Structure 1
Amino acid sequence: MAVSCGVVSFTGRKQMLLFSDSEIMALSDQSYAEFKGTAEVSSNAAATRMVKEVGGKMVAALESYLKTNGQESALRGLVWEFMLVKSQEVNAFCMPSGKIVFYEGILKYADTPDYIAVVMGHEMAHAIAKHGNERMSQQSVMNLLGRVASEAIGEKKGAGAQALFNVGFGIGSQAGVLLPYSRKHEYEADEIGMYIMNIAGYDINAAPAFWEKMLDAKSAGQSDFFSTHPSDAKRIAALREAISSFTP
């Protein structure tokens, strides 16, 4: 475990990162493999194609931007992959290694390329901003006082390392069940996601519009997405404020 001070791409916020990219990616790949072992891949070819097309376009734009601006370190260890799961659950997530999972249920709301880009950009942002590493680092400092964390990560294939990873990345006891990021991380992912949308040619005004749709679904009790992605008037207002002062 090595202490470093990272800087988040696009926002410039400084963050404490206690774990190396290689450590995080190894644990991420293990967790993703477990998820794939239980998930059923969607048979909806058209929906799968749309998710992959939007994702591929956004990844290409993001990688070009970061390389041009000397921020390639944000891409270290990322191997992007897109998966659509056969489930009516309204959910989506991105593993820190760049594995992005959409559930069919979220496409009831993300039903256009721009809306898919809102969700895609938000999830990609968590990965390039290393939010999971940051949360895992904070958790190790608070609960494990560094020493135990070091021992756990020293056993890279042990239960201790995976348990700490699960806490850091918000993974519950069931594969693919995520716990919420902090509001700070959620808002930052919203902002970064809009930057990625913009450089990929998508309409950033779709971001607040999407969350308004989700808020309506929440009011109607139709979505569990809010257990990990809280939507409220403050979040929507923050998105609109970001757009009003947006400088690509």
Structure 2
Amino acid sequence: MRNPVRRIARTTTTLAAAGVLAGCAYNEDLGRSQFLLVDDAALAGAAEQAWGEALGAGKVSTNRAAIARVERVAKRLIEAAGLGDRPWQYVVFEDPQANAFVLPGGRIGVNTGLLALARTDDQLAAVIGHELAHSVANHAAERYSQTAATQTALQVGQAALGGRMSPQTAQAAAAFGGLGAQLGLLMPFSRRHELEADRLGVDYMARAGYRPGEALELWRTMAREGAGGRPPQFLSTHPSEATRLAELERYLASRGWLEAG
């Protein structure tokens, strides 16, 4: 008897391979090819909606010093990243979580919690540079493309086999296929994105005149603040703190930037 789960996996792999052939683009900043069904421009509408929701749901700070700090640091990094050819919006959110984000279309949000944690502008630059790197690297578009291709492949595979197995087997195969896609493809790529953004981010810091070594201190501080609340690395879309720190330290050493921290 043929194994239906194997057949779904084979169908998924075939369709994914076809998608890669149809949507590969080389990214010079990353030094690798990417699977892109869309680009950041195509995600502009979704980004605008997400920005509107963030503004509506969050409390926007009116602290002039905080806003000026974000704008001062971000502008230098934007130029260093080659993104100065578009208008940018800067918003500080009254939120204790140490977080920041950059959306396609030129929007930067920084939480007050991050501003409190980042003791120096160099450390703030580490986070903003990291988030800008996601934009330069087309990570949002790549993530979207991976998710869309995987979902399509699984749906086609399930439809092709649906009439040849019991409902229980079909349900189990669908669950197995979805879990395999998540753990084997989507999550590892997201971890890869984070490490790539770490490397590009410190490049932008150096170009902008900030001390790249301060990124290591910032991530160490964030690791201490968030200790104990993370899932195992293979079940996470972000690398473990130990992996991130080791990879970043290795990269900083290769560029001679550890002493600059």
Do the aligned partners of 1:9 and 1:129 also contact (CA within 8 Å) in 2?
Answer: no
Please state if 1:101 is matched with 2:109. Answer: yes
Do the aligned partners of 2:40 and 2:104 also contact (CA within 8 Å) in 1?
Answer: no
Q: Which residue of 2 aligns with 1:52?
A: 71
Residue type of the alignment partner of 1:19 = V
Residue type of the alignment partner of 1:106 = L
TM norm structure 1 = 0.72
| Equivalent residue for 2:241, pick from 215, 224, 232 | 232
- Equivalent-residue separation in structure 1 for 2:219 and 2:202 (angstroms): 13
Do the aligned partners of 2:77 and 2:208 also contact (CA within 8 Å) in 1?
Answer: yes
- Equivalent-residue separation in structure 2 for 1:23 and 1:234 (angstroms): 33
Structure possessing the higher radius of gyration over alpha carbons: 2
How far is 1:115 from its partner? 0.4
Task: State the Cα deviation string for residues 62-107 of structure 1 (Å, max 9, x = none).
Answer: 228xx9xxxxxxx7xx643221101212221111223111110112
Percent identity of equivalent pairs: 35
TM norm structure 2 = 0.69
| Equivalent residue for 2:82, pick from 63, 74, 94 | 63
- Equivalent-residue separation in structure 2 for 1:41 and 1:5 (angstroms): 39
Q: Which residue of 2 aligns with 1:152?
A: none
Alignment size in residue pairs: 204
Do the aligned partners of 2:190 and 2:238 also contact (CA within 8 Å) in 1?
Answer: no
How far is 1:199 from its partner? 0.7
| Equivalent residue for 1:139, pick from 139, 147, 156 | 147
Residue type of the alignment partner of 2:38 = F
Do the aligned partners of 1:97 and 1:127 also contact (CA within 8 Å) in 2?
Answer: no
How far is 1:44 from its partner? 1.8
Task: State the Cα deviation string for residues 190-216 of structure 1 (Å, max 9, x = none).
Answer: 001011111111100011111111111
Q: Which residue of 1 aligns with 2:53?
A: 34
Residue type of the alignment partner of 2:42 = E
Q: Which residue of 2 aligns with 1:205?
A: 213
Gaps of 5+ in 2: 1-21, 157-186, 231-235
Q: Which residue of 1 aligns with 2:184?
A: none
Q: Which residue of 2 aligns with 1:195?
A: 203
Q: Which residue of 1 aligns with 2:93?
A: 85
| Worse-superposed segment, 82-91 or 236-245 | 82-91
